[in-house]
Amino acid sequence: MKKFEIPIYYQSSIISRIKEIRNLNDPRKKDYSPTMLDFGPVRFFIARHFGFCYGVQNAIEIAYKTISENPDKRIFLLSEMIHNPGVNNDLQNMGVEFIMDTSGNQIIDWDEISNKDIVIIPAFGTTLEIEKKLNEKDINPYKYNTTCPFVEKVWNRSVSLGDEGSTVIIHGKYSHEETRATFSHSKESSPSLIVGDIKETDFLASVILNKRNKEEFYEYFKEKYSEGFNIEKHLIKIGVVNQTTMLAKETTEIASLLKQTMIEKYGIVKICEHFVDTRDTLCYATNDNQDATIELLCRNADFAIVVGGYNSSNTSHIVELCNEKLHTYFISSADKILDDININHFDLSIKEEITTDNYLPRKNKIDILLTSGASCPDAEVDRVLMKFLSMFDEVKPIDEVIQNLG
């Protein structure tokens, strides 16, 4: 795999050694079991796969190279480079400005940007409408394009579905930059509809089976379907793609439900005329990270720590998986671990950061599950690990523990 030039302050002195040992022992990545680090009073079970993925590293490399090579130019990002507060703050501290927020709301007016400026496309990609706007301002939208190759793969799959006469059903979060971009590209070649979860898919299935009328459909999926969407014409043949960072098992459930719905309506013999089986369009890193998390959860522990940006889709799905098994603390940085009594963490159910006290059990040996999202630097996981180790007496030296892994 390509080696990227990533700033040294994102690189890790601990996690990188662990990953190197695991990769040497398991070069084909077939072993999803976690790494166990026994420091005496505390043990960490660290997921096999986590941290910066290919698309994130590619985006960071392009952004930093662009900044380095253009010291006298104003540099803008369409929105956050990736969903990690530390990385985005670093870019802003280097003078990069964001044109929009993550929901697409304008921060800097387009009139303030000229063809003398540089505009970087973030890893999520962007819409055709914004590409057109950049072209109108004589700004090449492809020159500083960090769109993840796996996102572009989804766009290409959407086009092929359209070429086959299928309507594209997109499993994604409607407000997410990537889903907005995928929807924009998809609707150019085929009717398109966004479903956010299995509940919305169940509603769609009831429409396909004529259990709900078109007025109910248009109200329920308001702003989530392409212009001119006709349920009588455009729900006859369908195929499913997804936002690359969604929960894999939910995408599978959605595709299975829609396939079964088409079988119920048209019969098994004619299913190929009405449902296109698509290979999962989740990226490899999302799949690996989720599978590694599932394996991690086979270990008994007192609680789990998941590190990443609170608006990171792939990280939130890892948190959801962990929440099913044990107490999970979703933190954006080591600074959220206030001490051995209090921890600040993000509660997905209320979408707010809260403080929990007495989170650290008072016992002789504590077991902690540890992982992070695909947009979280390994250096931040290092800091989390070190923060916890500082709370215990007589911990074994890090070098000694890591050497025992080999």
The residues carrying an active-site annotation are 178
User: What is the phi/psi pair of residue 146, to 5°?
Assistant: -105, 15
Q: Per-residue DSSP letters for 298-338?
A: TS--SEEEEES-TT-HHHHHHHHHHHTTS-EEEESSGGGB-
End-to-end CA distance of the chain, in Å?
Answer: 23
CA torsion through residues 360, 361, 366, 372, sign: negative
Q: How far apart are CA 23 and CA 290, in angstroms?
A: 18
Helical (H) or strand (E) element with 75: strand 75-77
The rounded radius of gyration (Å) of the Cα atoms in the chain is 23
Q: How far apart are CA 10 and CA 152, in angstroms?
A: 26
Helical (H) or strand (E) element with 239: strand 238-242
Q: How far apart are CA 371 and CA 364, in angstroms?
A: 23
Q: How far apart are CA 150 and CA 145, in angstroms?
A: 14
User: What is the phi/psi pair of residue 97, to 5°?
Assistant: -115, 145
Q: Which amino acid is at 37?
A: L
Largest CA-CA distance found in the chain, in angstroms, rounded = 70
342, 353 Cβ separation under 8 angstroms: no
190, 262 Cβ separation under 8 angstroms: no
User: Which candidate, 370, 343, 258, places its Cα nearest to that of 15?
Assistant: 370
